[in-house]
Chains A and B, each alone.
Chain A
């Protein structure tokens, strides 16, 4: 699986959009981009995934560049409860495991 690179930490003001970047320059054509988050040592929670098109759900939006070498997770209106470690993962559809990196620790401040 391709390796991902994320900034170790970010801050965001409550109510503003949080934009979390992820680099995956060695991604291959059959690998998807997933985002999970982990709130204060709880089990990871799925957020969103995509292959090459931008995706949106009730939690977030995922913007994938045309060359697929990077992506951005957008939380449109961050709340204090969005404070968590956010993991960007790339893997093939039928791969068994999630390769979690160090992630980005997002702190939403009032």
Chain B
């Protein structure tokens, strides 16, 4: 059973461009979580999605950031008009059900560099 997959693993964008990060959850998992990790800091929750629904986006910046998890295909975290401060590692996690105990499995992350 393949783990959580994220691509690309590394992404370089110039200021003002768009960044699209993809996350394929583990097979059978219908819940996806996105986290951001700034250099030398812990992970910060951004958004929680279930298939076709955003459940909790309390950690998402109010502008330029959006997320989706369509019925078919991976979850997408989209950052419009990137700025240098968006440079970070973005991790997604998946789980088979809401909440739960140890059932969030993390992907390897996408490292975004904005030049």
Contacts and interface: CB of A to CB of B under 8 A. Distances in A.
B99 A42 contact: no
Interface in B17-33: 33
Interface in B88-115: 89, 91, 93, 98-102, 104-109, 111
Contact of B45 (A38, A41, A99, A103): A99
B72 interface: no
The prevalent SS among residues of A at the interface is loop
Interface string A11-33: 00000000000000000000010
B108 A43 contact: yes
B55 interface: yes
Interface residues of A, number: 24
A43 B4 contact: yes
Contact of A96 (B98, B101, B107): B98
Interface in A45-95: 45-46, 48-49, 87, 92-95
Interface of A: 32, 34, 38, 41-46, 48-49, 87, 92-103
8 contacts: A34-B102, A43-B4, A46-B102, A97-B35, A97-B48, A97-B56, A100-B42, A100-B44
